[in-house]
Amino acid sequence: MISTHPGAPLSVAREARASPLPCAEEHTLHSERLQIERKTFTLSMRENPRGRFLRITEDVAGRHDTIIVPAPGLKEFLRVLSEVARQTEQHPAEGGEAPRGAAAPG
């Protein structure tokens, strides 16, 4: 049995998380890559026997993190993401710094 408790060696905990789950055959319908600062994002619309979904993978210096958004939730996901982006534009970063790529108030 593999333990993932806080005292377990890191390699054992990683092995428990890295076990691949049996996956259904997937087909890529569309894919785009986006580079932002040091991060590369890959957005792939995919399909398997359970349905369509958006896979968003972040790659930073060889480390990958992925989220899956089921296709039925994409409009709501986009609505919330757009709202967050709008709020970020209206309220610059604290400390008087403008967000990267934005013009400083002047």
Q: What are the pLDDT digits (tens) for 52-92?
A: 999 999 999 899 999 999 999 999 999 999 999 999 999 87
Q: Which domains does the chain possess? A: 25-91 (3.30.2450.30)
Tokens encoding 68: 């899956």
Identify the residue whose tokens are 């369509």.
Answer: 52
Q: What are phi and psi of 61, to 5 degrees?
A: 50, 40
Q: What are the pLDDT digits (tens) for 10-25?
A: 444 444 455 556 667 9
